[in-house]
Structure 1
């Protein structure tokens, strides 16, 4: 009987569109490729395009270039781009990667508790759009071009 009630609640939540998590603002700390400690709360008041990538992912490497373009097109006062590498064992590659791609936005290492912060994260690249209060408003799985990112961002803030 309990199983049946639990199942009914789950079905009702799915039917009503209740998401798992992300009802509150995200806040966590991470380290940039230069070793500086940052907090997601430092970007409150801005939309944050938060990209999770891996060094072994070819489409992630291409997407970093698209995100670099976005960081140059969107006003820094309204949009912050952040990319975090999820494969920690390759962390030593991060400075070389940033320099070789000439990335000019914030790039760092994902925190150790990434799966607790993003319980629905499973594939790279995945990018989350956070509103100025730090709540997830969009989730994008897989490669996106600069144009695709701009189309999504322009629903919320003007980047052109």
Structure 2
């Protein structure tokens, strides 16, 4: 899976399920601390953040359960653990805002995408989100279908 370019960013992994499962609130950008083989694996476009989440522990933000597979060309000695906790780099004020927002009932911190910015640094876009109920998901699907139908009607009628 090759990485796609988007407005000067090279998107590596996208959590498309997050927009379906959660009501997305405020978003943040964070740097990520990686080892050498993790960076090489990301440059190949290999990563999965679909099941991952972020947590605030020990005064910092951590990305948990993100899968960055091993870089096979490096051999066995220099490999990293694919699902290890990775520290996210943010300002203290942003961490404090995240902590306050996530401490509210039903709120969580979800990674939306993992990408390289134009300078070549790995970044993660995080969002404060609240889980959707089944009726919310149905409502969103109905709204999406109506917008699609409306666009068809406008296109056909001119």
With the length of structure 2 as denominator, give the TM-score of the two structures. 0.26
TM-score by length of 1: 0.26
Structure showing greater radius of gyration is 2
